[in-house]
């Protein structure tokens, strides 16, 4: 079986985001499988022959999927956030027209892959696709996300100038990530008692180093609000923005964290939660979207609109050592349930079902 995979995300702004992560790992791991032939392309004109064509992402408002298919086609749709929260993702006339064309392009595809059961339900609902053609294949953390030795951690802590005790967030800062909520929770948590004075918040992601005050773009409004909260509440010295990290540095940053926090209103999967589990970090996260699927019984969950609930859970994990140890053990076990080998096996099964249709 010859599978051609579109790798456009690896040549765009998606490269350092979840879509790029998925595309890269999908291609690199499938290449190791001797039962199939993998080729890559950015333009369909480059595809000379293929049994299956796989588009590992789908953009609703840009032309990413051709109307005419030259081979049975599989498309990965990670989530439908712009349709669940329409008021926060305004689309112009051009975007609406593009979406109509993209929706037509979906009709003659053989199968669709998504990252969670929650996303599958939302995709079927909002895109009106047949449920039997949509397959939920959960992602996994890379093997490099693991417990590190004290020597490696000490080196990384000095290099990155990380504090002794910190809450950690890894990712983007658009509206759905709920970063202003995280800033408010952190401020109130520090005010609770004197034993929180040394607590810091570490934000990982290139977006947190951007100067956005004079840029008008809806995707940046949430970040602007978060920056105003940081400045207005005097948190500049308590929040560490490290930007994008090399993978080994990121693993160390997880290992050294006291608690990982994911405050999102919704996640189609929520990979940082798995990465934190694999690195032995207790996780406190929202119950938005698929996060309960990923977190299982290993995370503590809060309503992403309930500030006090989030603060109480964070305080409990920070002050209760036995609870911390329990969550770490449960997290390590939860991470083991997800693997890239399972992603590959399930993906190959979708390819075979598509060929047999």
Sequence-distant contacts of 244-249: CB under 8 A, at least 24 apart: 244/16, 244/204, 244/205, 244/206, 245/160, 245/204, 247/142, 247/144, 248/144, 248/156, 249/156, 249/159, 249/160
Query: What is the number of H-type helices and E-type strands within the chain?
Result: 13, 12
| Per-residue pLDDT at 109 exceeds 90 | yes
Three-class DSSP category at 47? coil
What's the whole-number mean pLDDT along residues 163-185? 96
The answer to whether 278 and 258 have CB atoms below 8 angstroms apart is: no
Residue 215 has what pLDDT?
72
pLDDT in tens, 17-59: 889 999 999 999 999 999 999 999 999 889 989 999 999 999 9
Percent of the chain with pLDDT over 70: 100
Q: What does the block give as tokens for 146?
A: 């693991």
Q: Of 139, 143, 140, which Cα lies nearest the Cα of 251?
A: 143
User: How many other CB atoms sit within 10 Å of the CB of residue 6?
Assistant: 24
Torsions phi, psi for 2 (to 5 deg):
-105, 120
Q: Of 86, 71, 69, 75, which Cα lies nearest the Cα of 8?
A: 75
The answer to whether 79 and 122 have CB atoms below 8 angstroms apart is: yes
CA 215 to chain centre: 25
Q: Which residue has the higher pLDDT, 14 or 164?
A: 164
Residue 16 has what pLDDT?
75
Rounded distance, CA 135 to CA 115, Å? Answer: 8
Sequence length of the chain is 357
- pLDDT band with cut points at 50, 70 and 90 for residue 175: very high
Beta partners for residue 5, in sequence order:
40, 54
Mean pLDDT of the chain: 94
Q: What does the block give as tokens for 32?
A: 């190791």
The answer to whether 265 and 90 have CB atoms below 8 angstroms apart is: no
Q: Set out the domains of the chain in order of their start, with CATH numbers.
A: 2-140+339-356 (3.40.50.2000), 150-336 (3.40.50.2000)
Alpha helices in 47-205 (DSSP H): 81-84, 93-106, 117-127, 150-160, 179-192
H/E stretch holding 75:
strand 73-76
> Angle CA(265)–CA(309)–CA(290) in degrees, nearest 5?
30
């Amino acid at each position: 079986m010859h599978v051609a995979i579109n790798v456009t995300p690896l040549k765009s702004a998606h490269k350092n985001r979840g879509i790029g992560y998925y595309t890269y790992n999908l291609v690199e791991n499938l290449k190791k499988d001797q039962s199939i032939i993998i080729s890559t392309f950015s333009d369909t004109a480059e595809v000379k022959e293929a049994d299956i064509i796989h588009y590992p992402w789908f953009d609703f408002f840009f032309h990413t999927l051709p109307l005419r298919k030259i081979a049975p086609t599989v498309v990965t749709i990670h989530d439908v956030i712009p349709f669940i929260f329409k008021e926060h993702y305004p689309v112009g006339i051009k975007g609406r027209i593009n979406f109509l064309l993209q929706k037509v392009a979906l009709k003659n595809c053989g199968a669709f892959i998504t990252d969670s059961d929650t996303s599958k339900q939302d995709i079927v609902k909002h895109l009106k696709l047949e449920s039997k053609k949509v397959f939920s294949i959960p992602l996994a953390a890379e093997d490099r996300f693991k417990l590190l030795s004290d020597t490696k951690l000490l080196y990384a802590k000095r290099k990155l100038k990380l504090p002794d005790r910190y809450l950690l967030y890894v990712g983007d800062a658009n509206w759905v990530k709920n970063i202003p909520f995280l800033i408010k929770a952190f401020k109130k948590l520090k005010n609770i008692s004197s034993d929180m004075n040394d607590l810091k918040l570490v934000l990982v992601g290139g977006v947190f180093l951007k100067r956005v005050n004079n840029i008008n773009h809806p995707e940046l409004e949430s970040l602007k609000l978060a920056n105003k909260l940081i400045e207005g509440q005097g948190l500049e010295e308590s929040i560490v923005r490290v930007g994008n990290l090399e993978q080994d540095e990121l693993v160390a940053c997880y290992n050294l964290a006291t608690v990982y926090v994911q405050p999102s209103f919704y996640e189609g999967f929520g990979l940082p939660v798995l990465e934190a589990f694999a690195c032995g970090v207790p996780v406190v996260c929202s119950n938005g979207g698929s996060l309960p699927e990923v977190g299982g019984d290993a995370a503590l969950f809060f309503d992403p609109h309930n500030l006090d609930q989030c603060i109480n859970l964070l305080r409990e994990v920070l002050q209760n050592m036995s609870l911390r140890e329990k969550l770490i053990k449960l997290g390590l076990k939860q991470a083991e349930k997800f693997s890239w080998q399972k992603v590959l096996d399930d993906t190959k099964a979708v390819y075979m079902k598509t060929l047999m249709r």
